[in-house]
Amino acid sequence: MSEADLKEELPGAADDTAPEGMPESETLDEDNRLKPEFVRNVKEALDDEDSDRVYDLVEPLHPADIADLFELVDERERLTLARSIRDLMGVEVIAEMNDWVREALMEALPADVVAEIAGGLDTDDAVAMLEDLDEADQQAVLAEMEPEDRAAIESALSYPEESAGRMMSRDHVAVPETMTVGDLIDYLREHRELPTEFWEVFCVDPMHRPVGTCSLSWILRCPRNIPLYDVMARDQTLIPADMDQEEVALRFQKYALISAAVVDTSGRLIGQITVDDIVHIISEEAGEDALLLSGAGDGDINEPILLTVRARLTWLVVNLATAMLASSVVGLFQGAITRFALLAVLMPIVSGMGGNAGTQTLAVVVRAIATNQLTDSNTARMIWREFRIALTNGLALGVLIGTGTALVFGNPLLGAVIASAMLINNLVAGLAGILVPVTLDRFNVDPAVSSAVFVTTATDTMGFFTFLGLAVLTGLA
Amino acid sequence: MSEADLKEELPGAADDTAPEGMPESETLDEDNRLKPEFVRNVKEALDDEDSDRVYDLVEPLHPADIADLFELVDERERLTLARSIRDLMGVEVIAEMNDWVREALMEALPADVVAEIAGGLDTDDAVAMLEDLDEADQQAVLAEMEPEDRAAIESALSYPEESAGRMMSRDHVAVPETMTVGDLIDYLREHRELPTEFWEVFCVDPMHRPVGTCSLSWILRCPRNIPLYDVMARDQTLIPADMDQEEVALRFQKYALISAAVVDTSGRLIGQITVDDIVHIISEEAGEDALLLSGAGDGDINEPILLTVRARLTWLVVNLATAMLASSVVGLFQGAITRFALLAVLMPIVSGMGGNAGTQTLAVVVRAIATNQLTDSNTARMIWREFRIALTNGLALGVLIGTGTALVFGNPLLGAVIASAMLINNLVAGLAGILVPVTLDRFNVDPAVSSAVFVTTATDTMGFFTFLGLAVLTGLA
C-alpha cells in the first residue's frame, strides 16, 4: 500500500475545515443547532431554484448538520435540496438523517439512485435505509445492487426487526489468538479491505467462534513478540444475533462496552456492534417511555400526519371508554348531586389529584422496570415504599383540602368526607401505579404501553366513588 | 517495561472467567438481571452473618452485577455486604453503583476508607462519588487523600455541577502533531503512566491546544514513517469544560464520537470524555423527561423516601391549586347542575379527554425540544401540524361522544353541546401542548419541569367552561 493511497483513504487527510465546538459559528447557535437565519437563507435559495447558492450554503456544513437541515426545511423542499447538493449526500448524511425524512426521500428517488446510495453505506446503515421501504420498492432497489452488497443486506433483513442482526456491521477484524502483536499490526497495515474505523480486534478459534477481545490501546502498548492470547480479555459480552436492540443497549450500558461481537446460533462470529450505533438506541429507548405512557405512539415530529393521528386517536378512543366508565359512576349519584350541587364542584379535585399521584408512581416504576432496576428481588420492598409515600402524600393533601373545604364552605362534615376520599384515592393511585406495571411486565406486556389506561381508570372511578359514596353514607346529600 | 510487568497490567491476562452473554447462567436470568433465588441466597447469608458464604456467592459476579446486588438487598444489609466482600469492592463496582446507594454507603464508612477507595478511582468516578457528600464529609475525605489526587478532584469540583469539567477524565494521550506514527507507537510502549484504555490520541500545538485527533485504528494501519499531521482528523469536536453534560451528550450523539477533547477557557487541552461515560448520561437525560413531566422529581427508586415525598408532594400541592381553579369554574354553574345533574355526569369526560390529548402533544414536543429536533426554524410548521392533528382528533371524538350521548339520553341538543365542547377542548389541548413548552423553552425554563401544570389547567378549566357554558347558552339547563 503506497503512502499516497493511504493518505487519500484516511479521513483526516482531506479534511481541512475549521474545528467545531467553537462559539462564533455563522451557521450554528449556542446550542449547536442550525440558526434560523441560515435555514431561511437555504429555503429562499430553494424557492428561487438557485442550486448553486444552495450548494455554496450547505457545502461547509458537517454531515450531521446537513441531515438536520433536511428536517428543518419543508417536506416539498427536500427533494430539491437533495438534487442541489447531490455530491454532498454522503454516507454520513444518509445515516444521520431522521428515519421518516429518509424514507420519504428514498421513495421519491428512482430505484437505481437509491441502490447506488445503499451500496456506499455500511450494511447496518443500508439496512436501516431499506427496511422501511415497502416490499416492492425494496425488491426494486435490491435488484439494482451489487450481488455481494445485496446478499449482506438480505441476510441482515432475515433477522427480526430491531434485533442485533439488523443493526450489526458485518465489517470487523477477526484473527487467530495465536497471532503475535507484531503480526497483527503488519496484517492491519497490509489489508486495505478492512474497516477504517474499529476499536477492538476479535480473536477467534478455528471454528470462527470468538475467544477473546483485544482493545487497540493494549495492542499499541505491547511489544511485537507477545501473542494475542496473552493480551486479549477473555471476559467478553457476546451478543446473539436475534437479541432485541433494547437488550443490546442495556448490555452496552451495564458493561461500558465500546464494541461487541455478534454471534449466530452456533456461536460463530458474524459481525460487530459499536457503541456509536448504540447511543441512538439508548436515547430512543429511554425517551420512548414518556411517549408510550402518554399514548403518543412513535412520537417523532417527522412522522406522516395520518400515522400520528391514527396512533393518538386509537389511544384517545380507548381512554374515552374509560372516561365513560368513570362518568357512569358519577351517574349513580345523580340524585345526591341534584340535592347538593357542591359535590359536583369538588369531585374533579379528588379524581384529578389521584390521577396526578398515579402518574408520578407510574413514571418512576416504568423507568425502573426499563432499566432493570426493579426486579422480582425488590418488588415487595418497592410496593411497601410506594405505599408509605402514598400514605404520607394522601394524609398531607387530605388535611390541606379537608381543612380548606371545611372553612370555605363552613361545612366540617364535607371537609372530612373530601379529606378521607383524597387519602383513599392517593392509596389507590400509589398501589395501582406500581401493581399495574409490575403485573403487566410479569405477563411480558410492555408496561409503558398499557399501564396508564388501567391506572387512570382506577383513580377516576375510585375518586368519584369514594367521594360521592362517602357523601351519601354520611348523610351529606 | 518487561513483559511480565505488562502482562500483569493488562486486563485480559488475569481474567479467566467464562464468557458472559451465555444463556445458561446460574446467577443471571434471561434479561441479564440477577436471579431472585441468587439474591435470596445472598440475603440469607447476610442474615446469618456468614461472610465467607457471602464472599463465595458474590466472587464470580461481574463488577456491574455486584453493583446491582447492592441495590437489590435491603438498605440495612448493604454495609454488611460491603464488609463481607471488601477486596471485591473495586473501581468498577463503585463506579457502576447507583448514586444514592453509593452515597449512603460512603456516609456510613470512615473517611480514610472512603479516601482509599477514591484514590483508586479515575478522577471522574472519584468526583461522582464525592460530589454528593456533604461539605464536612467531603473535606474529611479529601484531607486523607494523596496531594496529587486531591488536587485533581478539587480542580474538577471547581467546575459547575453536571458540567464537562466534572465528568472528564484527566488521563489522556496528547502528543505533538510532528511526531511520526512509529515514534508514537514507541512512546506508547515506553510510558507506563499512560491510561490503559483510550481510543484516540490527541495532537496538540506547543501551547497544548488540540489541533487534531488520531483514531487508534488509523495509527495501527499506517506505515511508521508517516507524520501524525498527515493522519489526524483536523475536524474535531472540542468540549468546553463548563459545557452542561446534556449538551455534551447531544454532541456525542450528533457526531457519533468515541472520545472528545475537553478544553479550558484559553483553549488548552485539559482532559477527555469517552463515550462509555456518556451512555449513562444519554440514558438519564432521555429518561428524565417522563419523570419530570409527571412531577416525580429525580424518580430514582433508591432515593431516600423523605426526598421523594418532598419532590412529589410539592408537585401535587401545585396541582391541587390548579384543580381548585378548575373546580371554581364548575362552581359558577352550580345552578345549572342542580337543574340538570346529567351535566355533572358528563363534564369529566370533556376535561379528561382534553387532558389526555394535551399530554400526548406535550410528550412529543418536550422530547423534540430535548433532542434539538424542534427549533425556531420549524416551530411554526409544527404548531400548524399539531393544530391539524387536534382538529382531526377533536372532530372524530366529538362525533363519537356526541352521537352516543344523543342516542343514549335521547337528547340531540346535549349531544351537540358535548360534541362541540370536545372539539374545542381538543384544540385547546393541542395548542397548549405545543405553545406552552415552546414558550417556556424560549425563556430558558426547562419545558419538561413546568409545562404539564399549565397544560392541565388549560384543558381542565376550558373543558368545564365550554361544556357547562354551552349548556347554559343553548338553554339546556
Query: Which among B305, B74, B269 is positioned nearest to A389, based on CA atoms?
Result: B305
Look at residue B263 in the predicted model and tell me its pLDDT: 96
- Mean per-residue pLDDT over chain A, rounded: 89
CA distance B256 to B284: 18
Does the structure show a pLDDT above 60 at B266? yes
* Contact at CB, A460 and B348, closer than 8 angstroms: yes
In a domain? residue A299: no
Look at residue A24 in the predicted model and tell me its pLDDT: 55
Question: Which among B19, B312, B328 is the nearest to A389, CB-wise?
Answer: B312
pLDDT tens, position by position, A87-125:
888 778 888 888 899 888 888 888 888 888 888 787 788
Question: Which among B72, B317, B460 is the nearest to A375, CB-wise?
Answer: B72
Q: What band does A6 get if pLDDT is binned at 50, 70 and 90?
A: very low
Among candidate residues A290, A315, A338, the one where a domain is terminated = A290
If asked whether residues A127 and A67 sit together in one domain, one would say yes
Q: With beta carbons under 8 A apart, name residues in chain B contacting A15.
A: 233-235
| Cell (9 digits) for B251 | 454532541
Q: How far does B289 lie from chain A, in Å, by closest CA?
A: 7
Q: What band does B10 get if pLDDT is binned at 50, 70 and 90?
A: very low
| Cell (9 digits) for B31 | 434479561
If asked whether residues A315 and A419 sit together in one domain, one would say yes
Number of folded domains that form chain A: 3
Span A235-261, average pLDDT: 91
Query: Which among A353, A451, A453, A351 is positioned nearest to B345, based on CA atoms?
Result: A351
If asked whether residues B88 and B218 sit together in one domain, one would say no
**C-alpha angle B167/B169/B174, rounded to 5°?**
140
CA distance A279 to A285: 10
Structural domain of B398: 305-473
Which residue is closest to B282 within chain A, CA to CA? A283
In a domain? residue A220: yes
Q: CB pairs below 8 Å between A and B: how many?
A: 466
* Contact at CB, B287 and A371, closer than 8 angstroms: yes
Does the structure show a pLDDT above 70 at B443? yes
Does the structure show a pLDDT above 70 at A9? no
DSSP of B95-118, one letter per residue?
HHS-HHHHHHHHHHS-HHHHHHHH
CA distance B164 to B277: 11
Span A411-435, average pLDDT: 97
Residue B45 sits in a domain whose CATH number is 1.25.60.10
* Contact at CB, B377 and A194, closer than 8 angstroms: no
In a domain? residue A19: no
Q: What band does A3 get if pLDDT is binned at 50, 70 and 90?
A: very low
Residue A323 sits in a domain whose CATH number is 1.10.357.20
* Contact at CB, B313 and A396, closer than 8 angstroms: yes
In a domain? residue B461: yes
Q: With beta carbons under 8 A apart, name residues in chain A contacting B320.
A: 349, 353, 397, 400-401
If asked whether residues B102 and B36 sit together in one domain, one would say yes
Predicted ipTM of the assembly: 0.86
If asked whether residues B320 and B433 sit together in one domain, one would say yes
Q: With beta carbons under 8 A apart, name residues in chain B contacting A338.
A: 338, 341
Span B120-147, average pLDDT: 85
Span A273-279, average pLDDT: 88
If asked whether residues B272 and B352 sit together in one domain, one would say no
Angle between the N-to-C axes of helices B342-370 and A447-473, in degrees from 0 to 180, rounded to the nearest 10 = 150
Look at residue B111 in the predicted model and tell me its pLDDT: 86
If asked whether residues B47 and B150 sit together in one domain, one would say yes
In a domain? residue A224: yes
Among candidate residues B287, B322, B350, the one where a domain is terminated = B287
Does the structure show a pLDDT above 60 at B310? yes
Which residue is closest to A391 within chain B, CA to CA? B309
Q: With beta carbons under 8 A apart, name residues in chain B contacting A373.
A: 71, 98, 301-302
Does the structure show a pLDDT above 50 at A14? no
Look at residue A13 in the predicted model and tell me its pLDDT: 38
If asked whether residues A60 and A143 sit together in one domain, one would say yes
Which residue is closest to B358 within chain A, CA to CA? A294
In a domain? residue B323: yes
If asked whether residues B71 and B210 sit together in one domain, one would say no
Among candidate residues A290, A317, A334, the one where a domain is terminated = A290
Q: How far does B151 lie from chain A, in Å, by closest CA?
A: 27
Q: How far does A387 lie from chain B, in Å, by closest CA?
A: 11
Look at residue A192 in the predicted model and tell me its pLDDT: 74
Greater confidence (B210 vs A296) lies with: B210
Q: What band does B210 get if pLDDT is binned at 50, 70 and 90?
A: very high
Look at residue B8 in the predicted model and tell me its pLDDT: 43
pLDDT tens, position by position, A33-51:
899 999 999 999 999 999 9
Name every residue whose Cβ is closer than 8 Å to that of residue B151 and which is 6 or more positions away in sequence: none
- Mean per-residue pLDDT over chain B, rounded: 89
Which residue is closest to A247 within chain B, CA to CA? B31
Query: Which among B148, B109, B239, B230 is positioned nearest to B181, based on CA atoms?
Result: B230
* Contact at CB, B279 and A276, closer than 8 angstroms: no
Q: What band does B434 get if pLDDT is binned at 50, 70 and 90?
A: very high
Half-sphere exposure of A51 (CA within 13 A, CB side): 9
Residue A246 sits in a domain whose CATH number is 3.10.580.10
Q: With beta carbons under 8 A apart, name residues in chain A contacting B374.
A: 301
Look at residue B24 in the predicted model and tell me its pLDDT: 55
Look at residue B309 in the predicted model and tell me its pLDDT: 94
If asked whether residues B425 and B353 sit together in one domain, one would say yes
Look at residue B308 in the predicted model and tell me its pLDDT: 94
Strands A269-274 and B210-215: unpaired
In a domain? residue A3: no
If asked whether residues A156 and A200 sit together in one domain, one would say no
Question: Which among B98, B217, B327 is the nearest to A346, CB-wise?
Answer: B327
Span A146-171, average pLDDT: 89
If asked whether residues B140 and B32 sit together in one domain, one would say yes
* Contact at CB, B17 and A98, closer than 8 angstroms: no
In a domain? residue A297: no
